Amino acid sequence: MSSSQGFKPEWLPSPNFNARKNNQKPRFIVIHYTAMDTCEAAIGRLCTPLHEVSCHYLISGKGMVYQLVKENERAWHAGAGEWKGLEDLNSHSIGIELANQGNHPYALPQIYSLEAVLRHLMSTWAIPIHNIIGHSDMAIGRKFDPGYKFDWRALALNNLSIWPKKETSEAVNVSEFVSLAKALGYSFPNRGSDKGSIKPLLECFRARFRPWARGELNSLDMGCVHSLVFQDE
């Protein structure tokens, strides 16, 4: 299904899009889950003007790929958030929705199709793997998709995501963790009842890179963020 093999998704146009601001080209890919009972229900929501939400691609559990918005248009998928200092992620990204409620594993046909879509987008728009993120990465504390059941490591093994090269330990240092997480692209939420707490950031980071981890920031979290930031050195 890659572009070199005839990338041909089914066209299901959504009215929920507009022009990218300042004619921006997509630099990022944001992966979501639909959190709905069926793919058909998700199509209904994403293609209805009432809900004012959409995406560029929707992938069913059986691996069917639907295109709802043209890649050069601004689909309404990311919402409020920030990544690498950018707040209008809709103008800078392509959104992919996976039909999944977030509480069960992703089907292999769906993952295979996702990999094909990612390769197509990376080739078409010259998007590097470190610009492939989850919705939770850019909407800390507000969104949790694609969730703990999504296997980022499997994508990394196919060179479609970043992943720490090895498990290491580093001394626990909260300010350093925040600084290194920001270097990856994360923001540090400092509003509301969690003002000054790194808990939302840590939970988001772990959901992506250490989904089995619990408790306070520890030396393995520090080693993980070190490995991600300095792995090319």
Report pLDDT for 8. 86
Range 185-201 average pLDDT: 73
Report pLDDT for 188. 79
- Helix 199-209 to helix 174-184 angle, to the nearest 10 degrees? 60
Range 133-160 average pLDDT: 96
User: Of the listed 82, 97, 115, 170, which one is catalytic?
Assistant: 97
Tell me the pairing of strands 132-134 and 57-59: unpaired
Q: How confident is the model at residue 197 (pLDDT cuts 50, 70, 90)?
A: confident
β strands within the chain, DSSP E: 10-11, 17-19, 28-33, 57-59, 65-67, 73-75, 93-98, 132-134
pLDDT tens-digit series, residues 120-130: 999 999 999 99
Is position 97 annotated as part of the catalytic site?
yes
184, 228 Cβ separation under 8 angstroms: yes
Q: How confident is the model at residue 193 (pLDDT cuts 50, 70, 90)?
A: very low
pLDDT tens-digit series, residues 64-93: 999 999 999 999 999 999 999 999 999 999
Query: What pTM does this model have?
Result: 0.94
